[in-house]
């Protein structure tokens, strides 16, 4: 474990921890020491380069300029390779951290009962105030989580974002509140050559609501077998699209309600199976 104010325990678990940001950071500080600060970084100095697991229970991280919880290479040496540990983020609140509020990677990471809020511009060098970022790895699970991007949130790629190196992820029984114009709730760009073979995310019983306008609510490219099951997509802002697929085959939208001011579903050079889709407005 390394980073600003880390507090390791022999069991590899941190509970109810609320680190504080240094008082002298300005919102646009370009101090090298400041912009490198993460709230907590899961790395080799804590796990000793082993396959140790990392658990974060009911922690609070707020106002960090370079990730709130950085946990994309557990047991690693500072590179993205890691040593195979599994990260579990259980409960807690992550608010207004730049780059990512919660950043996951490795294999089989879990976020359960986590609340992420971006409702103002965080301290930053290069601003990208993402909510939940999947940096690499596969088979991650997100369950019973809530991600909020308020209308005054800082510029970012989205509320739930996939790095090109990230593989398949399951998001279930979760809510996204999206009120920031011009930013997608879900952004999944084309996978890189480093990504696992399976890259299409699965969303089940996920609600995306809010007043955001412009752009698309869910933007998926190059990720075959993407699925939306029993979801609800409601965005009331002007010129807001629903779900866009680009160069993605064998995708599925089933039992899902889409209520947006733009196109409900766009498929660009993609094959999308629609079953029981209710389009409230188009």
Q: Which residue has the tokens 């259980």?
A: 90
Pairing status of strand 99-104 against strand 129-134: parallel
User: Is the pLDDT score of 94 beyond 80?
Assistant: yes
Domain boundaries, the chain: 13-281
User: Is the pLDDT score of 141 beyond 60?
Assistant: yes
- pLDDT, mean of residues 20-33: 45
- pLDDT, mean of residues 249-256: 98
Confidence of residue 184 (pLDDT cuts 50, 70, 90): very high
Its CATH class, for the domain covering 13-281, is mainly beta
- pLDDT, mean of residues 248-275: 98
Residue 44 main-chain phi, psi, to 5 deg: -65, -30
- pLDDT, mean of residues 35-46: 47
- pLDDT, mean of residues 184-213: 97
Q: How far apart are CA 66 and CA 201, in angstroms?
A: 26
User: Is the pLDDT score of 231 beyond 90?
Assistant: yes
> For residues 33 and 26, is the Cβ–Cβ distance under 8 A?
no
pLDDT of res. 32: 40
Q: How far apart are CA 117 and CA 250, in angstroms?
A: 33
* Global confidence as pTM: 0.85
Q: Who wins on pLDDT, 169 or 46?
A: 169
Q: Average pLDDT of the chain?
A: 85
Q: How far apart are CA 148 and CA 101, in angstroms?
A: 11
């Amino acid at each position: 474990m390394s980073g600003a104010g880390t507090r390791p325990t022999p069991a590899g678990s941190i509970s109810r921890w609320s680190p504080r940001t240094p008082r002298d950071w300005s919102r646009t500080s370009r101090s090298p020491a400041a912009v490198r600060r993460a709230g907590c970084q899961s790395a080799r100095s804590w796990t000793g380069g082993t396959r140790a697991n990392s658990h974060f229970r009911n922690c609070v991280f707020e106002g960090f300029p370079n990730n709130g919880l950085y946990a994309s290479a557990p047991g690693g040496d500072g590179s993205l390779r890691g040593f195979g540990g599994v990260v579990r983020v259980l409960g807690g609140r992550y608010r207004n951290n730049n780059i990512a509020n919660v950043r996951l990677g490795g294999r089989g990471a879990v976020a359960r009962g986590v609340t992420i809020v971006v409702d103002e511009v965080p301290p930053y060098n290069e601003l990208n105030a993402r909510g939940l970022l999947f940096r690499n790895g596969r088979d991650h699970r997100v369950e019973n989580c809530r991600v909020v991007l308020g209308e005054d949130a800082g510029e970012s790629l989205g509320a739930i974002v996939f790095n090109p190196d990230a593989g398949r992820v399951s998001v279930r029984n979760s809510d996204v509140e999206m009120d920031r114009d011009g930013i997608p709730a879900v952004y999944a760009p084309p996978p890189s050559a480093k990504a696992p073979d399976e890259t299409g995310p699965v969303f089940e019983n996920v609600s995306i609501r809010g007043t955001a306008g412009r752009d698309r609510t869910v933007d998926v490219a190059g990720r075959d077998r993407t699925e939306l099951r029993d979801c609800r997509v409601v965005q009331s802002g002007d010129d807001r699209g629903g779900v866009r697929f680009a160069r993605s085959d064998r995708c599925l939208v089933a039992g899902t309600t889409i209520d947006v001011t733009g196109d409900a579903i766009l498929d660009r050079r993609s094959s999308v199976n629609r079953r029981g889709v209710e389009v409230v407005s188009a």
